[in-house]
């Protein structure tokens, strides 16, 4: 597994053995960031990222490699956290603010950030375990978020291509859905009020 773009392009990332972590393939990650570059992100240095269900951290690290200002990695699994820290040390030279929130995604989103000004992410990347019902639950929590997500944030969720989604009921609009084998990328924005 390698970083596909930006200043850290080509650097290797590690993944814990076993089935607890299912990292985004290099091809899907590169496609995701090509889509972001082509129509959503015009200035990476202005971007604050939250990587939910971070696992290896590949999504957030990819954003940092492309110049994102900061990233909060949210992951609760001990083995994944240890691996995430190793991967972040491999890109320690990237000039960005990096934080790890070692907790459940839903608990994290339910509590206010410490410090001022508040951290308002304008890019949310989420790669929850496939087929566990996280997609709807995540959108429900994000739709009522008052602490972490900017009102104009882009939300990209990776899920099983078999997963269906009705983002409208949670105040989001589906801009794009792209399929790559058994993987789908959902590009979402909050609906205008």
Total-model pTM: 0.93
Alpha helices (H) along 128-190: 134-143
Span 26-190: which CATH code? 3.40.50.150
What is the pLDDT at residue 19? 64
Interval 102-158: pLDDT, tens: 999 999 998 877 776 778 899 999 998 877 778 888 888 888 777 888 888 999 999
What is the pLDDT at residue 190? 84
What is the pLDDT at residue 21? 66
Interval 88-108: pLDDT, tens: 999 988 888 999 999 999 999
Q: Which of 115, 110, 112 is nearest to 143 (CA)?
A: 110
Q: Where are the domains of the chain?
A: 26-190
Q: Which of 54, 75, 64 is nearest to 3 (CA)?
A: 64
Q: What angle do CA 51, 67, 52 make, to 5 degrees?
A: 0
């Amino acid at each position: 597994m390698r970083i596909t773009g930006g200043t850290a392009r080509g650097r290797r990332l590690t993944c814990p053995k076993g089935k607890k972590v299912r990292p985004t393939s290099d091809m899907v990650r590169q496609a995701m960031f090509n889509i972001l570059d082509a129509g959503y992100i015009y200035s990476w240095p202005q971007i604050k990222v939250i990587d939910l269900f971070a696992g290896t951290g590949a999504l957030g690290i990819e954003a940092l490699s492309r110049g994102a200002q900061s990233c909060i990695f949210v992951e609760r699994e001990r083995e994944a956290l240890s691996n995430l820290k190793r991967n972040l040390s491999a890109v320690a030279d990237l000039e960005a603010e990096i934080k790890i929130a070692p907790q459940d995604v839903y608990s994290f989103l339910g509590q206010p950030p410490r410090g001022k000004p508040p951290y308002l992410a304008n890019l949310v990347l989420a790669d929850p375990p496939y087929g566990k019902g996280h997609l709807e639950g995540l959108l429900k929590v994000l739709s009522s978020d008052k602490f972490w997500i900017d009102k104009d944030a882009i939300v990209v969720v990776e899920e099983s291509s078999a997963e269906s989604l009705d983002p409208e009921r949670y105040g989001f609009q589906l801009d794009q859905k792209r399929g790559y084998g058994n993987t789908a990328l959902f590009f979402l924005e909050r609906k205008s009020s």
